[in-house]
Amino acid sequence: MSTFDPTRRQLLKAAAWLPLASACGRLAFAGDGSAAKPAQASLVVHPERLGRTVSDSLTGFSYETQQLENPAFFSADNHALVRLFRELSPRGVLRIGGNSSDYTVWTAYRGEVPTQRTHKGGPQRPVMLKPEALHALAGFLRATGWKLVFGVNLKIGVPTMAVELAQAVRQIVGDDLIAIQIGNEANNYEADYAAFDKAWSPYAKVIRDVGVPIAGPDTGANTDWVIEYAKRHGEENIFLSRHYYKEAAPRGSIADLLAGDAGFYAEVEQAMQAADASHLPFRLTEANSYYLGGRDGVSNVFASALWGADFMLAMAQRGVAGIHFHGGTLDSIEASLGRTADASTTATDQAARRDAVTSRYSAIAGDVALGFQPRPLYYGMRLAQSFAGAQMLNADLGAAGANLTAYVARRGHALLVALINKDAGRDVAVSLSGLRGGRKGRLMRLSAPALDSRNGVVFENGIDPARAGHSVTVDAHGRCSVVLPRGSAALMHLDRFV
Ligand code: BDP
């Protein structure tokens, strides 16, 4: 459990609900007189209606190749970052790529490398990737237990350099490498799928010829590319991939982010048909709230935690095997966009200084010099990570008009229920039914003083789920009620459910 400044008014107000809200089976309200009556929602659990199995490696991060220019960043000696990765997931996947991967020169390559033309909005200088950075990265992976997906350059047009880099990654990182991807968001620089395929094929051939596994197409948006790629190259690949951002940063807002993205969910279902037909996992190898570096006051506040938890679980429910939240230092992201980072701050406290050197959407803030700390999004990822390896169950949610989502899964003998109240204006009382009568469990809340809070995020998960949060009991009829204050979430863990 993590607590920062639990002194603000709204948190106290939310806390006033807690003892009553977690008393499953008895629904009572501790309103302060000013709050409207909570929306009355219902969730009917159907233990027999099995959904997808959630991948063990649901949780992922994505960083720019440029981040490797400082080999001390992804290094076993970077204990604070190692700990944050390990505490998030024992089996996560780190993807290295982004715009800077298409501008990367492998310094051990002895062949000719043409000078790359720069474009407005993209990197303005090549990244010089040195072998020592890959050795340090290999140590980081061993220390965290995470695996790697690594992107090599397509745009520069030198397959011989790409294959040498791919081989070096394979040799240095060993079995911790899942796959090499070729090119980042080629939809932004190839005219159409056919042009991409033509440029990509010689790279894929030489990389596969030396026995290094590949994945792709790592397109920024086009789901039709994923489908076409699966048809043509499914058998040669370890997984299929694309990226996701809700919108460009200037168009971002808390209300927009929390509204969800039904259009994208439908696209994911199409991509999953292609993935299932090719028997391949589908990963969102780069994703976050808003591209162009994220939006201050949205991507880095508590709303992003609720969004992140909901997004991960919505994806897991549809069968997506992994979501890689893009982030890293401000300079690495700004450089990927052809901009110069302004990390200056007048703040003297360590937390604010770490925040200032970090890209706006990053789930982890900090750098090697200042150390690292979780951002709100990190806690949302943690909630969703509880579902990794579990079996999703289909449940019927009656949201009573509130912006509420719910996810149910079975893990071993336990039942997991995530309830996410993304509504900024309404508290919600959820009546759960279809549960096993008399079962006991824990309710772990994810909350913060307000949706726009940068600090003060609390997720009551603790190290031992049997003692975390508050105890709950299902009544003899298999019912139980939970009150979720507006802009908050909860994870329920019921023991001996099966
Ligand atoms: C993606 C790029 C990444 C950028 C990100 C952004 O792959 O390098 O940092 O957009 O715009 O398209 O934030």
One CATH from 3.40.250.10, 3.20.20.80, 3.30.70.270, 3.40.1170.60 for 59-385 = 3.20.20.80
pLDDT per residue as tens digits for the range 75-90: 999 999 999 999 999 9
How far, in Å, is the centroid of ligand 1 from the Cα of 294? 9
Give the start-to-end residue ranges of the domains of the chain: 2-53+390-494, 59-385
Confidence label for 70 from pLDDT (cuts 50, 70 and 90): very high
pLDDT per residue as tens digits for the range 33-55: 445 789 999 999 999 999 999 99
Helix (H) or strand (E) holding 411, with range, is strand 404-411
pLDDT per residue as tens digits for the range 114-147: 998 899 999 999 999 999 999 999 999 999 999 9
Residues with Cβ < 8 Å from 468, sequence gap 6 or more?
Answer: 1, 442, 444, 460, 461, 462
Domains 2-53+390-494 and 59-385 agree in fold:
no
How far, in Å, is the centroid of ligand 1 from the Cα of 95? 13
Using DSSP's 3-state secondary structure scheme, residue 276 falls into helix
Amino acid at 404: L
Q: Where are the alpha helices (DSSP H) in 79-129?
A: 79-88
* Ligand 1 and 330: CB distance under 6 A: no
Confidence label for 461 from pLDDT (cuts 50, 70 and 90): confident
Residues with Cβ < 8 Å from 229, sequence gap 6 or more?
Answer: 193, 197, 216, 217, 237, 240
DSSP 35: S
Rounded (10°) CA dihedral 90, 309, 179, 153: -130
How far, in Å, is the centroid of ligand 1 from the Cα of 185? 9
* Ligand 1 and 98: CB distance under 6 A: yes
Residue of the nearest CA to atom 10 in ligand 1? 291
Residue of the nearest CA to atom 5 in ligand 1? 291
> Which CATH fold topology does 2-53+390-494 show?
Immunoglobulin-like (2.60.40)
How far, in Å, is the centroid of ligand 1 from the Cα of 217? 16
Question: Given a cut of 50, is residue 25 above it in pLDDT?
Answer: no
Rounded-to-integer distance, Cα 123 and Cα 102, Å: 9
* Ligand 1 and 10: CB distance under 6 A: no
Compute the C-alpha angle 47/477/420, nearest 5°: 55
Rounded-to-integer distance, Cα 316 and Cα 58, Å: 7
Q: What is the pTM of this model?
A: 0.94
Enumerate the β-bridge partners of residue 459: 446
Q: What is the CA radius of gyration of the chain?
A: 23
* Residues 22, 485 contacting (CB under 8 angstroms): no
Structure tokens at 11: 């948190």
* Ligand 1 and 249: CB distance under 6 A: no
Give the nearest ligand 1 atom to 292 CA.
Answer: 11
Rounded-to-integer distance, Cα 430 and Cα 218, Å: 39
CB neighbour burial string for 355-370, b if at least 16 within 10 angstroms, e if fewer: bbbbbbbbbbbbbbeb
Pairing state of beta strands 480-484 and 458-459?
unpaired
Rounded-to-integer distance, Cα 4 and Cα 481, Å: 28
Confidence label for 496 from pLDDT (cuts 50, 70 and 90): confident
Helix (H) or strand (E) holding 284, with range, is strand 282-291
Residue of the nearest CA to atom 3 in ligand 1? 98
Start-to-end CA distance of the chain, whole Å, equals 28
Integer angstrom CA distances of residue 387 from 19, 53, 93, 421: 25, 9, 16, 18
Give the nearest ligand 1 atom to 184 CA.
Answer: 7
Query: What φ, ψ does residue 10 adopt, rounded to 5°?
Result: -65, -35
How far, in Å, is the centroid of ligand 1 from the Cα of 333? 7
Closest CA to 411 of 497, 477, 352, 342: 497
Helix (H) or strand (E) holding 10, with range, is helix 9-21
Give the nearest ligand 1 atom to 99 CA.
Answer: 8
Of 13-17, 106-110, 282-286, 493-497, where does mean pLDDT reach its minimum? Answer: 13-17
* Ligand 1 and 337: CB distance under 6 A: yes
Rounded-to-integer distance, Cα 17 and Cα 447, Å: 12
Using DSSP's 3-state secondary structure scheme, residue 452 falls into coil
